[in-house]
A and B are shown apart, each in its own frame.
Chain A
Amino acid sequence: VLYAYGVVRGGQACSLRDRVPMTGLDGARVQILPVGNLGVALSEMSAPPEPMPQRLRAHNSVCLALIQAGGVVPFRFGNVFENEEELCAAVGAKAADLERKLVRLAGCVELNVRVPLEPGERPSSGTDYLRRKKRELELAERLRTELGPALKDWRQEIRHGELRATCLVAAGGAAELKAKLKAFEPEPRLTGPWPPSSFV
């Protein structure tokens, strides 16, 4: 079967030769299959792979390497196709959308930022609830301001007592932003850079 990691630009296959460690799941070689203006990064495997931790890491590493080589629209783990025809049909059907996403995500990674919110009891009144919401919004705005113009896109949610922000940034600036955010108060938990899977 063909295991697909993600979609790259069609002309990217050449530049990948020198720049990307092309070892994927279970040590399988990663290849680029041209599909119209696009290319699909894939490995040939004997059977659909089970989602084991080392395979998840391999999938993630391949997608990160493809970003270094120009950009990728990352697939979720487990996109498996019986043959090239099936793969080409699936990618071809969404080619225009995938091309748009590639342009938008070229050279970008995502950083995940989790900022703990002040603990508290259930709001005692509607006013109390709204005050709390206002503080949360102010915290999110302060975080966005801290990230500045480096931020290309942004998702945020409040869950489990945390402000969870997903930030789309240029791959080259990710390390600098992480260093900058370490000084943010309250101290956030940072992970990444990740492939920009939240923005596809």
Chain B
Amino acid sequence: VAAVHVCRRRPRGAGLSDLPALPEEAPDEDQELSLVDLVDHVLNKGIVLAGEATIAIADIDLIYLGLNVVLASVETILKEPS
């Protein structure tokens, strides 16, 4: 079952303060960010005020997620008391 989430593109807001575009910094190779650690930090931790994400494979949106409900690592889900 596939679900596609469609969002209207909003007009540019007047209250945003643009910052000058600076050259993109190359990723720090020394950090050797493994994907597992990255997922744990970026998807599993941090403040959730509101959010949503769509999991897709091969450009087909598969699952629409409410961020504060579903996005957690398997480890965290297993850690939750049943």
Q: Are B41's CB and A30's CB within 8 A?
A: no
Min CB distance A26 to B, Å, is: 11
Note all chain B residues with C-beta closer than 8 A to A57: 27, 33, 38
- From A41-49, A116-124, A132-140, A143-151, the one touching the partner chain is A41-49
Residue of A nearest to B66 (CB): A78
Interface bits B33-46 vs A (CB < 8 Å: 1, else 0): 11101110111111
Distance of A166 Cα from B21 Cα, bound (Å): 34
Given contacts A6-B47, A197-B46, contact A79 B67 (CB under 8 A): yes
The reply on B22 being an interface residue by CB < 8 A is: yes
Given contacts A50-B53, A51-B55, A75-B47, contact A17 B38 (CB under 8 A): no
Residues 1-43 of B contacting A (Cβ, < 8 Å): 5-7, 9-10, 12-13, 15-25, 27, 31-35, 37-39, 41-43
Distance of A94 Cα from B62 Cα, bound (Å): 32
Note all chain A residues with C-beta closer than 8 A to B12: 44
Residue of B nearest to A23 (CB): B24
Q: Are B38's CB and A13's CB within 8 A?
A: no
Note all chain B residues with C-beta closer than 8 A to A195: 41, 46
- Classify the interface of chain B: helix, strand, loop or mixed: loop
The reply on A187 being an interface residue by CB < 8 A is: no
Q: Are A34's CB and B49's CB within 8 A?
A: no
* The one of A1, A49, A61, A74 that contacts B10, using a Cβ cutoff of 8 Å: A1
Q: Are B42's CB and A59's CB within 8 A?
A: yes
Min CB distance B67 to A, Å, is: 4
Distance of A29 Cα from B54 Cα, bound (Å): 22
Q: Are A51's CB and B19's CB within 8 A?
A: no
Distance of A47 Cα from B49 Cα, bound (Å): 18
Q: Are A76's CB and B7's CB within 8 A?
A: no
Distance of A30 Cα from B24 Cα, bound (Å): 11
Pull 13 A–B residue pairs with CB atoms less than 8 Å apart, ordered by A.
Answer: A20-B19, A23-B22, A44-B16, A48-B53, A51-B42, A57-B27, A76-B45, A77-B42, A77-B43, A191-B31, A195-B46, A197-B41, A200-B46
